[in-house]
Each structure stands twice: as structure tokens, then as C-alpha cells.
Chains A and B, each alone.
Chain A
Amino acid sequence: GAVVSQHPSWVICKSGTSVKIECRSLDFQATTMFWYRQFPKQSLMLMATSNEGSKATYEQGVEKDKFLINHASLTLSTLTVTSAHPEDSSFYICSARVPYFEAFFGQGTRLTVV
């Protein structure tokens, strides 16, 4: 089946620094990828929809300048958490969907800001 690879699986960074998370679709072209944030014992919260070659669409309440999304190719989307602070610590998950079929999720990235 199709695979979505997310990297890194965990990262610890200092407050004020930026962190980049990569999401790759390994064997299919994903014109659209999704970025989610998940707090402990909670559901997935959609942050933004990443469209190849165009600007991402952010959900209400998500800071565009803090969570920069780039979808430069059909197989790669990146999420950069800029000037990270402890409250940005969370589990971030990307997803890509083959139209009319299932969605595939990355392994997730555990971000800890100290």
C-alpha cells in the first residue's frame, strides 16, 4: 500500500529556534497533504491543507507565520515551526490522500520545546 514517511519522529529544540518537519509520499503523487496536531489523549486537529505549488490553507486559529508550510513537489511537504515555544510542544502528523481512496498518515513527529 501507499506509504507516507514523516521525519523526524521526534525532536527536542530550544525555545526561540525553528524546527522543520518533512512529509513524503513514497509511491504516489500527492497534490494535497494535510497537517494535524494532536494533544495527548485527544483527536487529530487539522492545522492546514498543503497544496502543491500554491499557498497552504490554514484552519481558523492557526498562526500562518508560526507554522510555515511548503509543498514544493508532488511528493514532499514541509512544516516549519518558527520561533518555537514550549506551548508548541505537541505531536504533529501529516497525511496524504489518494483521491477517492484512503488517507495515509505519517508516523508523526513528537516536538518538545525546552
Chain B
Amino acid sequence: QQQVKQSPQSLIVQKGGISIINCAYENTAFDYFPWYQQFPGKGPALLIAIRPDVSEKKEGRFTISFNKSAKQFSLHIMDSQPGDSATYFCAASRNTGNQFYFGTGTSLTVIP
């Protein structure tokens, strides 16, 4: 059973545009929601993370929006750049636990 559902599977955005990736979860015990960026042949790297006590978190061009009642969260990449082209994974976990549950990933391509 997929604990975290992610969409879309792939995304093509023009340079300067906004990239939006969505995730949904079922387990209400989750209370930590990170986004990871992965380039080909590399391990995932933390991009930004949010906890459910806030509805939005922004770091530079990256913003997480969190809707606790809908059990959904999304990543917005403003002013998308070709260097942002990568695979993005959302994840969820419990603070008191260790295991992360990953989404299926979104392949983002930013075209010049």
C-alpha cells in the first residue's frame, strides 16, 4: 500500500515558470514532511521540509504548502531554472519514528 501518493509523474516547465508537485498521505500520525531532490546517479538531498503546525514554508524559490485537513502537501518551485531539472520525491514520517515513506517521484524538466 502506497503510504504517500505523488503526482504528476513527470512535468515539463518553461524557464521562469512555476513548477508544482503534489502529494497526499493517509496516516494522520505523520508529522514530518520533507521534499528531496535527486539528480541522476546521486543520492537524494533534502530540499525543504515542513511540520504540520504551519501551513506554508518558504526557502528561496521553494515553497511547501500544507493542508492538514485534506492530508495534502505540495512543492512550488518559483522561477524554475534548467538547473532544477531533477527528480523530486516527497516523503512523510513520524517524528518519533525513523522510517520515511516516499512518494513515487516526479521527473521535472525545465526547458530554456
Contacts and interface: CB of A to CB of B under 8 A. Distances in A.
B55 interface: no
B83 to A, nearest CB: 19
Contact of B42 (A42, A44, A102, A107): A107
A67 interface: no
A30 B34 CA distance: 19
Interface residues of B, number: 22
Contacts of A6: 43
Given A93-B43, A99-B98, A44 B107 contact: no
B16 interface: no
B42 A43 contact: no
B102 A44 contact: yes
A110 interface: yes
Contacts, number: 51
Contact of B104 (A43, A46, A99): A43
Interface string A81-105: 0000000000101010101101111
Interface string A53-95: 0000000000000000000000000000000000000010101
B17 interface: no
A49 interface: yes
B91 to A, nearest CB: 8
A80 to B, nearest CB: 19
Interface of A: 4, 6, 32, 34, 41-44, 46, 49, 91, 93, 95, 97, 99-100, 102-108, 110
